């Protein structure tokens, strides 16, 4: 009922927007969620972030996005053009431009690009998630809005144009714009209740006696309580292998098994290194043709034969699969509805112009293929092997695998552990493959996993190893290099190169544009300064 009313309300609102020869003047609207079956939608001139009402506006273009792009590049065919451009959004606070985002080509549905029907631009919503427009707003908030918007009203303006990227972006004039008075009034928080949470007994670690700037932890906990940092569930810090900080929020506790999404991709690489160490695989240089009769699958080519295990672990196999491109045939979202993830992956075509091992593309299906290889080549299967060789030595007794349709452990993420157990896993790598005096991984495998094997796209710092990321934090002008596992929602295991630190953040901001940025900010602005 609510969704139907929402659609009717939006159709009614669309009549308010007449086509204009100059920039279209957009109006902000709120939409109040259902209460006692009464719902309202109205034009507004001011809004407080934290309200229980949705915030949105409607873009009713006089011509389609396709037509606007064609004005910028009339010689390019439509299919190519739609892959090269989209809308561009500029955010202004009190007249100063503070954030710009060129939407990726996959951000808007194909049918919405070739028609001029109204676009529902939802910025904040209590009931809807995963929309490109909500993620756009979240990224603006993470990059600029949180620091600039406060209790004093400020004028937020949004201008919309279109762009085509031919070596460099080319922009249209401003097509539409909207203004609103915006405040961000946080909840009143009692600072006396924001101190470090006491660490209960039987954590599995010795308690650290190292100093910690508790004022910064109070400030961090206040930010989490007032929802400046949203959907944070747990923070664990180990220093020199001892427990320095353990905190939980939003209903989670020590025994909660948390879904870290792609954080546990790293475990797939770990099990590969262990299997090589124990002689179940020769090396990461073995090729797919050593494990599968690839002629039995669709789109066979010799390039598919020569994909190495290491290519899959470094996200550089030349399969036509990219989770960051919605239209990619090998996108993980196309895999999940299928009955056989291995067949889905091995049926994929290869990209003609790419070489295996030469270009990074985020490809979840490939990591699960590695897990399938492990399961077929380790006597007794990969699950029993992981229990005996990894979890038991780390004293991890509670866990839940995400599973394939065949009931096998899924290698692409979703392995649920406690935050403390994620910290144990990070400490294993910080120790070079040793935990509690026992070598579980060869040091050479740890070094290779954390090496600069692939260059990341220009918009991301650092490099990529074997299912591990790399970047640096800057504190007081000094750079601290960190290796980390990362998962949707802002889930992280940070392991510092030159500091005896492991930091775990568990979060559930799944699909939110701010998720990764806020996790990094928590480390850079609060945790590292408090520890150092």
Mean pLDDT of the region 382-409:
97
Q: Distance between CA 59 and CA 159 in Å, rounded?
A: 11
Question: Cβ(306)–Cβ(289) under 8 Å?
Answer: yes
Question: Cβ(127)–Cβ(33) under 8 Å?
Answer: yes
Q: How confident is the model at residue 134 (pLDDT cuts 50, 70, 90)?
A: confident
The least confident of 26-40, 131-145, 191-205, 229-243 is: 26-40
Q: Which domains does the chain have, with CATH numbers?
A: 2-184 (no CATH), 191-196+205-252+419-435+452-531 (3.30.450), 281-377 (1.20.58)
Predicted TM-score (pTM) of this structure? 0.79
Question: Cβ(524)–Cβ(503) under 8 Å?
Answer: no
Judge residue 481's burial from the number of C-beta atoms within 10 Å of its C-beta, 0-12 exposed, 13-18 middle, 19 or more buried. Answer: middle
Place of tokens 């889930």: 491
Q: In angstroms, what CA-CA distances link 16 with 28, 63, 475?
A: 12, 17, 50
Question: Cβ(432)–Cβ(443) under 8 Å?
Answer: yes
Q: What pLDDT score does 88 carry? A: 97
- Residues 6 or more apart in contact with residue 510 via CB below 8 angstroms: 129, 261, 488, 489
Residue 232 CA, chain-centre distance (Å), reads 14
Structure tokens at 468: 């591990």
Mean pLDDT of the region 212-223:
96
Q: What pLDDT score does 91 carry? A: 98
| More reliable by pLDDT, 37 or 10 | 37
Residue 61 CA, chain-centre distance (Å), reads 31
Mean pLDDT of the region 141-162:
94
125: Cα within 13 Å, side-chain hemisphere = 22
Chain segment 234-292, per-residue pLDDT in tens: 999 999 999 999 999 999 999 999 999 999 999 999 999 999 999 999 999 999 999 99
Chain segment 422-466, per-residue pLDDT in tens: 999 999 999 999 999 999 999 999 999 999 999 999 888 899 999
Question: Cβ(502)–Cβ(423) under 8 Å?
Answer: yes
Task: Give the residue among 486, 482, 485 at the shortest CA–CA distance from 509.
Answer: 486
Q: What is the DSSP annotation of 211-275?
A: ---HHHHHHHHHHHHTTSS-SEEEEEEEETTEEEEEEE-TT--TTPPB--GGGGHHHHHHHHHHH
Mean pLDDT of the region 223-235:
91
Chain segment 53-83, per-residue pLDDT in tens: 889 988 888 899 999 999 999 999 988 999 8
| More reliable by pLDDT, 186 or 244 | 244
Mean pLDDT of the region 136-140:
90
Q: In angstroms, what CA-CA distances link 513 with 251, 331, 395, 516, 527?
A: 23, 19, 35, 8, 22
Mean pLDDT of the chain: 91
Q: How confident is the model at residue 33 (pLDDT cuts 50, 70, 90)?
A: low
Q: Distance between CA 361 and CA 380 in Å, rounded?
A: 32
Gap between the terminal Cα atoms of the chain? 54
Residue 427 DSSP symbol: H
């Amino acid at each position: 009922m609510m969704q139907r009313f929402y659609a009717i309300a939006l159709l009614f609102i669309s009549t308010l927007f007449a086509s204009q020869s100059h920039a279209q003047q957009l109006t902000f609207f709120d939409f109040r969620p259902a209460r006692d079956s009464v719902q309202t939608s109205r034009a507004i001139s001011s809004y407080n972030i934290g309200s229980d009402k949705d915030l949105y506006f409607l873009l009713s273009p006089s011509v389609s996005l396709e037509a606007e792009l064609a004005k910028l590049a009339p010689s390019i065919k439509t299919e190519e053009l739609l892959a090269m451009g989209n809308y561009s959004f500029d955010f202004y606070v009190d007249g100063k431009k503070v954030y710009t985002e060129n939407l990726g080509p996959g951000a808007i549905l194909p049918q919405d690009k070739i028609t001029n029907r109204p676009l529902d631009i939802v910025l904040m919503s209590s009931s809807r998630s995963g929309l490109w427009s909500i993620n756009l707003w979240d990224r603006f908030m993470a990059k600029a809005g949180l620091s600039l918007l406060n209790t004093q009203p400020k004028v937020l303006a949004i201008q919309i144009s279109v762009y085509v990227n031919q070596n460099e972006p080319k922009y249209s004039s401003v097509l539409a714009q909207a203004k609103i008075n915006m405040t961000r009034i946080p909840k009143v928080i009692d600072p006396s209740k924001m101190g470090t949470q006491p660490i209960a007994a039987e954590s599995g670690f010795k308690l650290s006696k190292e100093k910690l700037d508790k004022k910064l932890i109070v400030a961090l906990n206040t930010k989490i309580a007032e929802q400046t940092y949203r959907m944070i569930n747990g923070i664990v810090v180990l220093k020199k292998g001892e427990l320095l900080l353990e905190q939980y929020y939003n209903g989670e506790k020590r025994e909660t098994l948390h879904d870290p999404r792609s954080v546990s991709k790293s475990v797939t690489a770990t099990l590969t290194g262990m299997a090589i160490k124990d002689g179940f695989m020769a090396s990461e240089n073995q090729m797919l043709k050593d494990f599968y009769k690839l002629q039995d699958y669709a789109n066979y080519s010799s390039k598919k034969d020569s994909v190495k295990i290491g290519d899959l672990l470094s996200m550089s196999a030349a399969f036509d699969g990219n989770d960051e491109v919605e239209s990619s045939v090998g996108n993980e979202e196309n895999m999940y509805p299928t009955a056989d993830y291995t067949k889905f992956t091995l049926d994929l075509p290869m990209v003609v112009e790419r070489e295996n091992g030469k270009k990074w593309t985020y490809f979840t299906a490939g990591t699960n293929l590695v897990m399938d290889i492990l399961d077929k080549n380790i006597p007794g299967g990969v699950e029993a092997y992981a229990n005996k060789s990894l979890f038991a030595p780390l004293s991890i007794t509670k866990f839940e695998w995400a599973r394939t349709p065949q009931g096998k452990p899924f290698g692409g993420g979703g392995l649920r552990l406690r935050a403390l157990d994620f910290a144990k896993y990070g400490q294993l790598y910080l120790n070079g493959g040793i935990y509690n005096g026992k070598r579980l991984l060869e040091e050479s495998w740890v070094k290779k996993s954390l090496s600069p094997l692939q260059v990341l796209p220009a918009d991301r710092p650092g490099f990529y190893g074997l299912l591990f990321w790399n970047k640096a934090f800057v504190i007081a002008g000094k750079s601290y290099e960190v290796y980390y596992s990362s998962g949707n929602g802002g889930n992280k295991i940070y392991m510092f190169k030159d500091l005896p630190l492991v930091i775990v953040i568990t979060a559930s901001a799944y699909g939110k544009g701010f998720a990764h940025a806020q996790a990094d900010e928590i480390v850079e602005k609060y945790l590292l300064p408090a520890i150092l």
